[in-house]
Structure 1
Amino acid sequence: MSVLPGKALILVENLSVPFDRRVWQECQTLRDAGWEVHVICPQGTKRDTEAEVTVDGVHILRYPLKAATGGPAGYVQEYGSALWHTLRLARKVGRVDVVHACNPPDLLFLVALYLKRQGAKFVFDQHDLCPELYLSRFDRGEDFLYRAVRALERRTYKTADVVIATNESYKDVAVKRGGKSPDDVFVVRSAPMVERFHLVPAEPELKKGKPHLLAYLGVMGPQDGVDYALRALASLRDEGGRTDWHAVFIGSGDAFDAMVALSKELKLDDQVEFTGRISDEDLLRYLSSADVCLSPDPLNPLNDVSTMNKIMEYMAMSRPIVSFELREARVSAGEAALYAPANDEPEFAKLIAHLLDSPDQRAEMGELGRARVAGPLSWENSQKALLAAYAAAVR
């Protein structure tokens, strides 16, 4: 769909750009459609460190931000600092036609309100359901802070001219809970750029002398299930009697140190390796050598309705997947994954063992996954939805 190009400002708080792959894909799509694209985001620690830079025609302004520690109070401090910097830099960018805010948090509508007074339209890109994220991360129930998070979400929906949802489950929330018209909510699925993901020659040395390599890729936060994966691997070893594998956990997050400690507590440290964040080249090496990939996100209010980027990237690399039974995991992976009952670690371990013993099934599942991300779940389809959302915003 063609859109009269204008000036767009994309706001991100929880990741730097271009490191945030979804946001960077959106930037490139808009740029290619003729939009003048500006981004405001935090500075990275090891990459994306410049305060101001233009990358491939996209103007990026970054601010220093200390990540939250110490529970909800830490997030209040982080978000307050982020809002101040974002508003400061938005003034530097000046008038825009579209302000495109990516959550979390559901606070960027405050900057959008300022820009709307100058004539901008507000596109709310809902990466996470923040009320469900709060319940899943902090285990505090529907307390005062939960009600505050719900109120901020309602205000964000009300302020938005158009909502971008990452899947149909999120769209359903925007319509039913957010009161948005279905015509104003567009599903822009996260999808890997398949040309970025390609197999390279497998490297047996990455398996550390074992016949098989298991791989996890992604964030390591309290809700991401790395602890479930580690306990499943302990079950694979202890109940399944399998030691013919090495496992690599790729990524970082605020639970990283705790997961390394748990691995040692379970006496897995001789079979489990934590790499931290690695380069794209090393990522391809590990995933090309992996026999089975793990998506251990447990069932909780957020994970059940969220699209897991790791699943999409595993499929782009033609890797078979073991997942817990989650609604959107099944929508994404289909027959490219095997599904253990929700949060059942011993069954998760049994499915890993089954795939280790089934090379033909692994290959078939990998081919099915690659076809999904190259076809119905491709970024090409998401591009059309993104441009349609912008057309609706400025109509």
Structure 2
Amino acid sequence: MLVNRRRSGAATARRRVLILVENLPSPFDRRVWQEAVTLQQNGWQVSIVCPTGKGYESRLEVIEDVHIYRYPLPAEGDGPIGYAVEYFVAMWHCFRLAAKVWRERGFDLVHACNPPDLLFLVGGFFKLVTGSRFLFDHHDINPELYEAKFGKRGALWKLMVWLERATFFTADVSIATNESYRRIAIERGRMDPDQVFVVRSGPMLDRLKSRPPIADLKCGKRFLVGYVGVMGKQEGIDFLLKAVEHIVYGMKRTDVHFGLVGGGTSLEEMRQLAVDLKVADFVTFTGRVPDEQLLDMLNTADVCVNPDIANDMNDKSTMNKIMEYMALGKPIVQFDLTEGRFSAGEASLYAKRNDPLDMAEKLVQLLDDPVRSATMGAFGRWRVEHQLEWQYEVPKLLAAYDAAMDRRK
């Protein structure tokens, strides 16, 4: 969506933004890429600093006039020491490449996307030295994420809280992905409510296109349940596999296959769990794949599932996968989480929190009721088209940018 904005006086110089990302390459990170393209279309010169990744190995690439500077990272952290090494390397490259962008293209604003909550060091440095503005794009609530990953608080949890607060303190403006995150920015981050903008991760319907199903993806079964997302500890893939076990052995259903799309630190562990539960023949793990293969799996699916564990982090977080399922008109089963229910509404059934048996029962209910499934899928598609698509978030993003550039701290 292209928004025309008038500026006072004669023609003004084009404004320039540097977007910092640590956990995913661009343009693979859909939210970041949607923001970058939108800003480019609305008169900003956009540069991105991000890591390399599978299929995104080039260190410098220009796509749709967005300049992408990539850096290599060690293997993804899985534990405090691993994360410390990953983040130390990332911060070094972010400082190095930000300085390179400053010399070659310049920037008036640094837009930092967490995790980790360390990017304020880069944004704060250039804010102090160059006078650029700093905008914080709050993707993850890291204190809750730490607790979800490691099951405890302690000194490192307190450090997460301090880093989050330091990030909010440094930011001229903060972007929240939902109202739960906005409350955190205001209450825990002590930000001025007028400087916190909700910009949801709405899907772009021109990317999420319906297409004919591919029968081979069902592996000879009558039904396919689809999942797309990270294979990590807080994503609840173990709960989903226990639901598969109950469907196969408890409910005696051998006509359902599960297609799980995505990579992550727990992928091999989950593959082994499927073997241990004797359900490997009913589950396909694709790993990280291009969008075309992802869309094939979701378009073939009869029902889509979100097994994210019910914890404080997931309860407050908006999951992109939910709106992608809705955009493709798919009925959903998920655990009963606050933001998940807000996003999906009547497009989903809600299993008891962290109860894989109830999740299994609800999946089978939908598979055996095509009329109800079609009604739920149609509602989800309508909600995306009329309320949640990215075009409705564009004015909010541009308003946040205007506020950041007008801000004096």
Shorter-chain TM-score range: over 0.9
Matched, 1:91 2:99: yes
**How many aligned positions are there?**
393
Match of 2:10 in 1: none
In structure 2, distance between residues paired with 1:381 and 1:3: 20
Matched, 1:352 2:360: no
Larger RCO: Structure 1 or Structure 2 (Cα < 8 Å, ≥ 6 residues apart)? Answer: 1
Specify the SS of the correspondent of 2:135: strand
**117, 129, 134: which is aligned to 2:141?**
129
Matched, 1:362 2:373: yes
Specify the SS of the correspondent of 1:11: strand
Shift of 1:3: 7.3
In structure 1, distance between residues paired with 2:309 and 2:219: 29
Shift of 1:207: 1.1
Judge conservation of contact 1:3–1:390 (CA < 8 Å) in 2.
no
Matched residue type, 1:235: H
Matched residue type, 1:30: L
In structure 2, distance between residues paired with 1:284 and 1:14: 23
Specify the SS of the correspondent of 1:16: coil
In structure 1, distance between residues paired with 2:185 and 2:238: 31
With the length of structure 1 as denominator, give the TM-score of the two structures: 0.98
Specify the SS of the correspondent of 1:183: helix
Matched, 1:48 2:56: yes
**64, 81, 84: which is aligned to 1:73?**
81
Match of 2:11 in 1: none
Q: Which moved more, 1:200-209 or 1:148-157?
A: 200-209
Judge conservation of contact 2:227–2:298 (CA < 8 Å) in 1.
no
Shift of 1:246: 0.9
Matched, 1:237 2:244: no
Specify the SS of the correspondent of 1:209: coil
Shift of 1:67: 3.0
Specify the SS of the correspondent of 2:34: helix
Q: How has the CA–CA distance of structure 1 residues 3 and 163 changed in structure 2, closer, same or farther, with 3 Å as cutoff?
A: farther
Supply the RMSD in Å over aligned alpha carbons: 1.1
Judge conservation of contact 1:68–1:77 (CA < 8 Å) in 2.
no
Matched, 1:152 2:163: yes
**298, 301, 316: which is aligned to 1:287?**
298
In structure 1, distance between residues paired with 2:111 and 2:185: 16
In structure 1, distance between residues paired with 2:250 and 2:282: 16
Matched, 1:31 2:43: no
Match of 1:340 in 2: 351
Shift of 1:70: 4.6
* Aligned-residue identity in percent: 50
Q: Which moved more, 1:16-25 or 1:192-201?
A: 192-201
Q: Which runs of 4+ in 1 moved over 6 A?
A: none
Matched, 1:60 2:68: yes
In structure 1, distance between residues paired with 2:111 and 2:348: 34
Deviations 1:77-116 (A, max 9, x none): 1101110111011111114211000000000000011110
Matched residue type, 1:74: G
Q: How has the CA–CA distance of structure 1 residues 13 and 376 changed in structure 2, closer, same or farther, with 3 Å as cutoff?
A: same
Deviations 1:255-284 (A, max 9, x none): 000000000000001111111122222222
Matched, 1:15 2:24: yes
Q: 5+ residue gaps in structure 1?
A: none
Match of 2:15 in 1: 6
Deviations 1:169-198 (A, max 9, x none): 000110111111111000110111111112
Judge conservation of contact 1:200–1:288 (CA < 8 Å) in 2.
yes
Match of 2:320 in 1: 309
In structure 2, distance between residues paired with 1:244 and 1:197: 27
Matched residue type, 1:78: E
